[in-house]
């Protein structure tokens, strides 16, 4: 078994560390050293683990030498899985020499590695910079990247193939964001052939407006025919102040493009004031009845935003939508509005209006049972609950709680012989490279190799691969790969107990449920200690650096060095547990509210508290305005229930029902001076 790797860069022996540092050996000495180590490994003079470790140490030192620009003979590492990375390192540094034959040889030999795509892109960039267009055409591959697409078209232009160069170029050009400079020569050639037409110019202007690309839109406006510029100016004015959609003098009544402008203005207005925008929509429909059908999508969005704000007019708005836009989101929010209002007869009526697949889902079957129960139709409700109480999910657990039944949490571990796993590893160079990169702490590269290696695997082989990753303690990859295999019953792989001491000890020190902490980690990072979100959150529990500094001050952690500290598993767990405790105390000591706050922030959750009467926790969770947060809360609560079983915790005090306290009304304003983020889809 591959054990969890040491901290980054801590795998060198003393000899290797010296060789890679200031007292660097000569290339001849390195050949002798690496050859000697590998000869011992191949001769079996050391154990298998020690042998592989020797290869890793030599690889890291050679790789560091190449990265520093020191020539070194890495030929003795030819049999090591990561040899292509050394070759890639050398070729990348030598690309200015334009070694075409060597690059093509690499692409042919190592096309099964992500390195091939990386080297090809770097090579094509170099060829484009050097104007080597014949070579570019030889080595280019189909791509959706506009830069490389336009370089390929430039190469065709240089080859005198103008028709081929401009074929379907409108598809590349027609986008709502600016094109790279590589496209400028192609656009110039296109213009000599009569492109783009006024109709295409307007379509791209509309795309730019829809993408909020006002700079591009203004540039395109200057190219529009004079007859179209006035309408473009009207749209730009609406973008600046959406209330201008009510100014009829800006729009010609018979222009079919007006609907897009009005729809865009309504959406911009609705993001700040959905009821106000809906009132403006009513006015527009009265003035221009013929446009009503073309404004239906904007009407749908406004109705959903109003519903997610729990506005009194929500149900009327949702009910009035035409069938053409009454999709699943609309049907579900009609039910949610009734749930939040406690109107159980209406909830039952709208539940009957769901589509068959929606109505048969565990979510809406549970809510049918709840509605029947609230209406005193107890036996019917129990029948509905019994139908889903045997399912291992959030709504199945809720149904079991309503019936007082134990949870159904089946666990069927994969039964795959170690010899099968070893055989899979032997026949997959990509998996071998992924393992070595992961052990060496190069997880992003390891993940890229893994994704490419398993791309063509069937279900049983994906199961084997998932078990391999689990055997290496690569939990994130095991979870993701098992999901691709659509195998849901191996709970050890899907819900690992990694970092158990850190989770349990910190949770108990803060008087928190360790199953809940585990559930948050599982949802936030899938047990990736070096996880980084696009927003900048770090580590197992995805803590923002600013929050980490705050917590470090509260914990008086003098060694805190965000973000580096947050990428250490022990510190991240300690900080995350501390933050959970803090928001739990702030939000009624209610795990449902604290879970929502971990995703959306405590200020936002404070805004979602009921104004008057308490709301049952299941109703509150189902009617969370943000879809992402709503799904997040349900998954964490489901995972916490499973982790209760995995940890062997007593269920009477750790059931889903025990975690779901009624949500009390807000006692006092908790939000001061906090700006409202952009509205996500409901």
pLDDT grade, residue 526 (50/70/90)?
A: very high
Rounded (10°) angle between helices 394-403 and 362-374: 30
- Supply the Cα-derived Rg of the chain in whole angstroms: 30
Whole-angstrom Cα distance, residue 399 to residue 378? 13
Q: H helices within 44-145, ranges in order?
A: 48-67, 83-94, 100-109, 114-130, 133-139
**What's the pLDDT at 250?**
85
Report, as residue numbers or ranges, the catalytic residues. Answer: 524
Q: Given a cut of 50, is residue 594 above it in pLDDT?
A: yes
Element (H, E) at 553: helix 545-555
pLDDT at 655: 83
pLDDT for 654: 66
What mean pLDDT is predicted for residues 208-231? 95
pLDDT at 249: 85
pLDDT digits 0-9 by tens, 371-424? 999 999 999 999 999 999 999 999 999 999 999 999 999 999 999 999 999 999
Rounded to an integer, the average pLDDT of 599-623 is: 96
Tokens standing for residue 201: 């110019």
Give the distance between the most distant pair of CA atoms in the chain.
89
Handedness of CA 577, 583, 586, 588 (dihedral sign): negative
Residues 6+ apart with CB under 8 A from 52: 41
* Calpha distance 112→107 (Å, rounded): 9
Average pLDDT over residues 341-369: 97
Q: How far is CA 255 from CA 120, 227, 250, in A?
A: 48, 12, 11
- Indicate the angle between helix axes 378-388 and 394-403, nearest 10 degrees: 140
pLDDT confidence tier of residue 560, bands split at 50, 70 and 90? low
**Reported confidence tier of residue 151, pLDDT bands at 50, 70, 90:** very high
Q: What is the pLDDT of residues 620-657, one digit of tens each?
A: 999 999 999 999 999 999 999 999 999 998 765 668 98
For the stretch 40-98, pLDDT in tens is 444 444 445 567 888 899 999 999 999 999 989 999 899 999 999 999 999 999 999 99
Q: What is the pTM of this model?
A: 0.88
Residue 487's pLDDT is: 97
CA distance linking residue 255 with residue 232, whole number of Å: 12
User: Does an H or E element contain 470, and which?
Assistant: helix 459-471
> How is residue 388 written in tokens?
């889903």
């Amino acid at each position: 078994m591959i054990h969890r790797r040491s901290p980054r860069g801590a795998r060198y022996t003393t000899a290797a560390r010296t060789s890679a540092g200031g007292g660097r050996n000569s290339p001849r000495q390195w050949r002798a050293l690496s050859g000697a180590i590998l000869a011992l490994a191949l001769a079996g003079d050391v154990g298998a683990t020690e042998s592989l470790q020797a290869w890793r140490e030599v690889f890291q030192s050679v790789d560091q030498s190449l990265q520093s620009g020191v020539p070194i003979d890495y030929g003795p590492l030819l049999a090591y899985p990561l040899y292509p990375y050394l070759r890639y390192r050398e070729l990348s540094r030598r690309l200015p020499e334009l070694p075409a034959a060597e690059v093509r040889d690499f692409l042919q030999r190592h096309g099964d590695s992500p390195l091939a795509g990386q080297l090809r892109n770097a090579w094509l960039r170099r060829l484009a910079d050097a104007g080597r267009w014949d070579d570019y055409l030889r080595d280019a591959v189909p791509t959706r990247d506009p830069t490389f697409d336009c370089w390929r078209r430039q190469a065709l232009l240089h080859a005198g193939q103008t028709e081929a160069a401009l074929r379907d170029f409108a598809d590349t050009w027609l986008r709502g964001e600016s094109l790279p400079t590589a496209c400028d020569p192609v656009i110039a050639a296109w213009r000599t052939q009569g492109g783009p037409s006024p109709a295409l110019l307007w379509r791209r202007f509309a795309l730019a407006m829809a993408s909020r690309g006002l700079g591009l839109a203004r540039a395109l406006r200057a190219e529009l025919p004079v007859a179209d510029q006035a309408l473009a100016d009207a749209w730009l004015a609406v973008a600046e102040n959406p209330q201008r959609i009510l100014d009829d003098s800006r729009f010609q009544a018979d222009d079919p493009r007006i609907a897009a402008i009005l729809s865009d203005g309504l959406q911009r207005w609705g993001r700040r004031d959905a009821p106000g925008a809906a009132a403006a929509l009513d006015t527009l429909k009265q003035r221009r009845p013929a446009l009503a059908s073309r404004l239906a999508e904007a009407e749908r969005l406004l109705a959903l935003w109003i519903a997610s704000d729990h506005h009194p007019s929500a149900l009327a708005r949702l009910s009035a939508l035409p069938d053409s836009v009454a999709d699943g989101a609309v049907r579900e929010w009609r039910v949610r509005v009734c749930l939040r209002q406690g109107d159980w007869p209406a909830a039952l009526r709208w539940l009957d209006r769901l589509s068959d697949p929606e109505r048969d889902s565990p979510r809406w079957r549970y809510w049918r049972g709840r509605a029947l129960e609230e209406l005193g139709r107890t036996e019917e409700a129990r029948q509905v609950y019994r139908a889903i109480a045997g399912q291992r999910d959030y709504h199945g657990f809720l149904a079991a709680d309503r019936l007082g039944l134990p949870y159904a949490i089946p666990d069927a571990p994969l039964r795959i012989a170690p010899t099968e796993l070893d055989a899979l590893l032997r026949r997959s160079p990509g998996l071998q490279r992924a393992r070595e990169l992961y052990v060496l702490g190069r997880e992003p590269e390891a993940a890229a190799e893994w994704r490419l290696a398993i791309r063509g695997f069937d279900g049983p082989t994906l199961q084997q691969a998932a078990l391999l990753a689990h055997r290496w303690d690569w939990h994130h990859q095991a979870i993701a790969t098992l999901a691709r295999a659509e195998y849901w019953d191996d709970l050890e792989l899907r819900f690992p107990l990694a970092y158990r001491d850190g989770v349990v000890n910190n949770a108990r020190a803060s008087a928190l449920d360790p199953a809940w902490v585990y559930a948050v980690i599982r949802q936030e990072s899938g047990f990736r200690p070096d996880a980084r979100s696009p927003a900048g959150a770090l580590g197992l529990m995805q803590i923002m650096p600013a929050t980490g500094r705050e917590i470090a001050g509260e914990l008086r952690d003098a060694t805190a060095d965000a973000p580096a500290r947050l990428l250490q598993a022990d510190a991240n767990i300690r900080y995350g547990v501390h933050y959970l405790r803090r928001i739990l105390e702030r939000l009624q000591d209610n795990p449902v509210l604290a879970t929502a706050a971990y995703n959306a922030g405590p200020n936002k959750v404070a805004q979602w508290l009921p104004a008057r009467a308490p709301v049952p926790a299941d109703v509150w969770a189902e009617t969370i305005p943000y879809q992402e947060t709503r799904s997040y809360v349900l998954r964490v609560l489901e995972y916490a229930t499973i982790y209760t079983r995995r940890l062997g915790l007593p269920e009477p005090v750790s059931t889903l029902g025990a975690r779901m306290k009624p949500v009390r009304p807000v006692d006092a304003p908790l939000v001061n001076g906090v700006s409202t983020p952009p509205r996500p889809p409901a």
